[in-house]
Amino acid sequence: MEKQKLSFQAEVKQLLHLVTHSLYSNKEIFLRELISNASDACDKLRFEALNDNALFEDAPNLEVRISFDKAAKTITISDNGIGMSAQEAIEHLGTIAKSGTREFMGKLSGEQARDAQLIGQFGVGFYSGYIVADRITVESRRAGLTPEEGVRWVSEGTGDFEVETIHRDKRGTDVTLHLRDDAEEFLSGWKIKSIVGKYSDHISLPILMRKEEWDQEKQEQVTKDEWETINKAAALWTRSKADITDAEYQAFYQQLSYDSTPPLAYTHNRVEGRSEYTQLLYIPAKAPYDLWNRDKRGGVKLYVKRVFIMDDAEALMPTYLRFIKGVIDSADLPLNVSRELLQESRDVKAIREGSTKRVLSMLEDIAENQKDKYSEFWREFGAVLKEGMGEDFANRERLAKLLRFSSTHADEGVSLADYASRMKEGQEAVYVITADTLAAAKSSPQLEIFRKKGIEVLLLTDRVDEWLLSHLYEFEGKPLQSVAKGAVDLGKLQDEEEKKQAEAAAESFKPVLERLKTALAGKAKDVRVTTRLVDSPACLVVEEGDMSGHLARLLKQAGQEAPNAKPILEVNPEHALVKKLDGSERFEDLANILFDQALLAEGGHLEDPAAYVRRVNTLLAG
Ligand code: ADP
Ligand code: MG
């Protein structure tokens, strides 16, 4: 191929601009990125060579070499991995192929674009070379191609790049960075070693550099023609736990996840028995920006006997644990396993079950011993963990214990066990209410009697909570009972005297109830007297089997069909406004106002707001 000039894809230009303008405070990450690419290239070669051993040619030992030239001001990162054909160089280095990257780029705008933390978390890959270089030359030959099919790619990282075919004997890739004047600090063996130690110690292939020695006569470091390995070169998870420091675990996490915040917790185990594997799993401290994408693949990499097989092997973790990052290295799976095969494999099922249990144990331990840390976890990932209640039947009981709620007792961190320990003598249910916001939940009129009697009610305000309730219907034998559904039956919590009073009130109120029913026939399914209210005149409830008003609204907002079940209006016969009904000339107006206010109080929308305003104004004026 003759030398040709090509233009970068628009997104690449954007990314390049970002990289050079936002990351100069954290220059050294370029080395991590380029070593990571070299390591990926070796993984790919090892994987392709499983079916075609000839790809190794005469160089079966995969490695990365780093060299630098002080005079020319260059650093070169070389690998003998899979390499690239000319076409691949054009595609992989000229466009952003990963859909995740595109999505991420789309999200970056204005202020955010300057957030180096965010970009760092994401990992900018190859283009990070331009933080320190004003020109990058890539020379490569793909394994299996002839020496005449090498490629040279050159770009200054602005608008375009040049490619041409070259003769290249070696398989693999050399990436040469022509350093900017302000990046000359990297022309130092010591500096490079320290960066490799920081980010790439656990890369499982050797990273080599020429030995340096202090020359007494010249009074400077001289480079010898002898290579030495400068990293530990053993995959971290294969090493014994006792020999790994916390800092090493954290560095590995960073490499794995591009998350610069240290993980909340991790677990590292060798599992033996029916299925043999090693797991190293991390719980991140912060939720990623795309946590809500349930189609997103998981964060666990699969290795088989140290050979990298695939990223994001979703079959290894249940969907509700998609935030877990880590590595699983199996001793039993075949090396040529595919995603499809993974779905069906019994070994994978055993690994998934085992790993899920590990994560749950880790969470239980934090919940038990580090309450503050658990609250942090819950704030970030609680809503995702809730999905597990519907997804993971086998672990439902363990999951239920990990749930945390707001309640009338505390704004956050209430577990079902805490709730149970505070239940009143004779209390037969766990009481809950759902609402859009905590404030709305707290001021629900339905709570009044519970407040008065000091009975705790869980306040559920997450979008998934309505759904959660359909999977969480009891805790330790006590049913969960919505205080906005059905007639309130406090059972043994109400004494005989109160019950009698309520019955008497209902009896004497009968004629008014009949008139209310007629007046509100279009709106309310029924009207009845209640003891659940203390300060409010009325509230809406739905029948036991009906969908709550809150859920119906959520569904409608989401553009889904929701049954139009009419609610029941419950009135407080002790309230002045309700007492006023009997004998009032404006019975209709009052009745409608009672209903509309009850609907407003629970966050509902009036069908005819203008009519409501008119009625209230008439009353105010009169
Ligand atoms: P990522 O590594 O996340 O895919 P990068 O920007 O780091 O993104 O690299 C882009 C692509 O360029 C890689 O996916 C790979 O196909 C190719 N590439 C980069 N470096 C090398 C290398 N040393 N050997 C072979 N291919 C490489
Ligand atoms: Mg990369």
Query: How far is residue 446 from each of residues 24, 116, 485, measured CA to CA in Å?
Result: 57, 48, 10
Residue 469: which residues within 8 A CB-CB, separation 6 or more? 432, 434, 460, 480, 482
Contact 8, 16 (CB under 8 A): yes
Helix (H, G, I), strand (E, B) or coil at 104: helix
**Backbone dihedral region of 62: left (phi > 0), alpha (psi from -120 to 50 degrees) or beta?**
beta
Task: Choose which residue among 92, 256, 312 to substitute to test ligand 1 binding: the one with the highest number of ligand atoms within 8 A of its C-beta.
Answer: 92
Handedness of CA 487, 490, 491, 496 (dihedral sign): negative
Tokens 């069906």 found at: 344
Spacing, Cα 357 to ligand 2 middle (Å): 32
Which uninterrupted H or E stretch holds 172? strand 172-179
For 257, the token pair is 């996840």
The pLDDT tens digits for 473-509 are 899 999 999 888 777 667 667 777 777 877 888 888 8
Spatial distance between the Cα atoms of 491 and 429, rounded to a whole number of angstroms: 10
Tell which atom from ligand 1 comes closest to the C-alpha of 36: 2
Question: What pLDDT shows up at residue 501?
Answer: 79
Spatial distance between the Cα atoms of 503 and 499, rounded to a whole number of angstroms: 6
Question: What pLDDT shows up at residue 184?
Answer: 95
Alpha carbon distance, N-terminus to C-terminus of the chain? 92
Contact 78, 173 (CB under 8 A): yes
Spacing, Cα 521 to ligand 2 middle (Å): 66
Which uninterrupted H or E stretch holds 568? strand 568-571
By percentage, how much of the chain surpasses pLDDT 90? 54
**Running DSSP on this structure, what letter comes out for residue 205?**
S
Question: What pLDDT shows up at residue 520?
Answer: 93
Spatial distance between the Cα atoms of 259 and 359, rounded to a whole number of angstroms: 19
Instruction: Flag whether pLDDT at 340 surpasses 70.
Output: yes
Question: What pLDDT shows up at residue 372?
Answer: 95
Instruction: Flag whether pLDDT at 217 surpasses 80.
Output: yes
Instruction: Flag whether pLDDT at 120 surpasses 50.
Output: no
The model's pTM = 0.71
Nearest partner of 347 among 311, 326, 318, 316, judged by Cα = 316
Nearest partner of 211 among 203, 201, 222, judged by Cα = 222
Instruction: Flag whether pLDDT at 98 surpasses 90.
Output: no
Lowest mean pLDDT segment, chosen from 46-50, 55-59, 90-94, 144-148: 46-50
Contact 176, 86 (CB under 8 A): no
Name the band, by pLDDT with cuts 50, 70 and 90, for residue 240: very high
Question: What pLDDT shows up at residue 115?
Answer: 52
The mean pLDDT of the chain is 88
Question: What pLDDT shows up at residue 484?
Answer: 83
Nearest-CA residue for atom 7 of ligand 1: 125
Packing angle, helices 10-22 and 99-107, rounded to 10: 60
Residue 527: which residues within 8 A CB-CB, separation 6 or more? 513, 516, 517, 520, 568, 569, 570, 571
Question: What pLDDT shows up at residue 242?
Answer: 93
Residues 428-448 have a mean pLDDT of 90
Spatial distance between the Cα atoms of 215 and 223, rounded to a whole number of angstroms: 10
Residues 459-466 have a mean pLDDT of 90
Question: What pLDDT shows up at residue 130?
Answer: 94
- Ligand index nearest the alpha carbon of residue 153: 1
- Ligand index nearest the alpha carbon of residue 171: 1
In single-letter form, the type of residue at position 44 comes to K
Spacing, Cα 56 to ligand 2 middle (Å): 22
The pLDDT tens digits for 592-613 are 999 999 999 888 889 899 999 9
Instruction: Flag whether pLDDT at 101 surpasses 80.
Output: no
Contact 449, 400 (CB under 8 A): no
Nearest-CA residue for atom 9 of ligand 1: 126
Spatial distance between the Cα atoms of 107 and 111, rounded to a whole number of angstroms: 11
Residue 163: which residues within 8 A CB-CB, separation 6 or more? 1, 3, 4, 6, 86, 89, 90, 151, 152, 153, 154
Question: What pLDDT shows up at residue 254?
Answer: 86
In single-letter form, the type of residue at position 606 comes to L
Lowest mean pLDDT segment, chosen from 162-171, 334-343, 387-396, 434-443: 334-343
Instruction: Flag whether pLDDT at 294 surpasses 50.
Output: yes
Taken in order of first residue, the domains within the chain and their CATH numbers are: 4-226 (3.30.565.10), 236-377 (3.30.230.80), 383-492 (3.40.50.11260), 493-621 (1.20.120.790)
**Backbone dihedral region of 305: left (phi > 0), alpha (psi from -120 to 50 degrees) or beta?**
left
Question: What pLDDT shows up at residue 291?
Answer: 74
Spatial distance between the Cα atoms of 58 and 42, rounded to a whole number of angstroms: 15
Question: What pLDDT shows up at residue 119?
Answer: 52
Instruction: Flag whether pLDDT at 303 surpasses 90.
Output: no
Nearest partner of 436 among 551, 582, 280, judged by Cα = 551
The pLDDT tens digits for 521-564 are 989 999 988 888 888 999 998 887 788 888 888 788 778 887 77
Question: What pLDDT shows up at residue 289?
Answer: 73
Question: What pLDDT shows up at residue 305?
Answer: 81
By percentage, how much of the chain surpasses pLDDT 70? 93
Contact 596, 612 (CB under 8 A): yes
Name the band, by pLDDT with cuts 50, 70 and 90, for residue 63: very high
Contact 22, 119 (CB under 8 A): yes
Spacing, Cα 25 to ligand 2 middle (Å): 20
Contact 174, 74 (CB under 8 A): no
**In terms of DSSP H, where are the helices of 520-586?**
549-557, 576-579
Protein residues whose CB sits closer than 6 Å to any atom of ligand 1: 33, 37-38, 40-41, 79, 81-84, 92-93, 125-126, 173
